[in-house]
Amino acid sequence: MELINPFAVPLFYVELDLDVVSIEKFCQEYRNNNEGRVISNVGGYQSNNLSTDNKHINSLIDQIIKHSNIFSESYSLKIKNVISSMWLNINGYKDSNGLHRHSLAIFSGVYYVKTPKDCGNIVFENPAADVMDYAHSVMNFTEFNKYNSSYHWMPAKENTLYIFPSWLKHKVEPNMNNDERISISFNTIST
């Protein structure tokens, strides 16, 4: 007998070695000088789209493109990625991001600049969650695992980059720390 995974949802992550102090300074100054918007954020600050020609985040932009292209290869896509949109998020106490997906993109991702303790994890929803939740109401599991879980979380970790298919629904848990969680999110398209 063999157990296989015929359908898998890819999630790429890598720990980077960027200067988070200077990136955080850029984020704080940007917030202080620019109005934000409300899209998926519940409280907190979300910027409008950032320029991808910004000397303060050039090293991050280079890493996003590099790792998006690596992800494309493991995804068996013959494309080269470019960033189509990019924005920053600053979440204070109890601020979060509701469940959403990103349209008109190939990949989406987030880079964590500042992550105090208990600042909230990023949570991904299984694409079959609606069906699973219906079926699971009559089942009695001994534990939750990759075959029966409706959600999978990854830690908000400083200097970590996550990349995932843009169709994958995700949310960010409330920041339960009085210190702010800071991240930069993005979408990619092919050239």
3-state secondary structure 77-96: CCCCEEEEEEEEEEECCCCE
Query: Looking at the domain assignment, is residue 96 inside a domain?
Result: yes
pLDDT band for 138, please (50, 70, 90 cuts): low
- Please answer whether residues 154 and 48 qualify as being in contact, where contact means their C-beta atoms are separated by less than 8 angstroms: no
pLDDT band for 4, please (50, 70, 90 cuts): confident
Per-residue pLDDT, averaged over 101-129, amounts to: 95
Query: Looking at the domain assignment, is residue 32 inside a domain?
Result: yes
**Within a 13 Å sphere around the CA of 17, how many CA atoms are in the beta-carbon half?**
0
pLDDT band for 61, please (50, 70, 90 cuts): very high
For a pLDDT cut of 70, what percent of the chain falls above it? 96
Per-residue pLDDT, averaged over 119-128, amounts to: 94
pLDDT of residue 171: 97
Q: Which residues contact 138 (CB under 8 A, 6 or more apart)?
A: none
Identify which of 158, 184, 159, 163 has the alpha carbon closest to the alpha carbon of residue 26. 184
Range of the domain at 28: 12-122+156-190
The total number of structural domains in the chain stands at 1
Task: Please state, in angstroms and rounded to a whole number, the distance separating the CA atoms of residues 132 and 150.
Answer: 7
17: CATH: 2.60.120.620
The structure tokens listed for 156 are 């908000």
Q: Which residues contact 46 (CB under 8 A, 6 or more apart)?
A: 36, 37, 38, 39, 40, 87, 88, 89
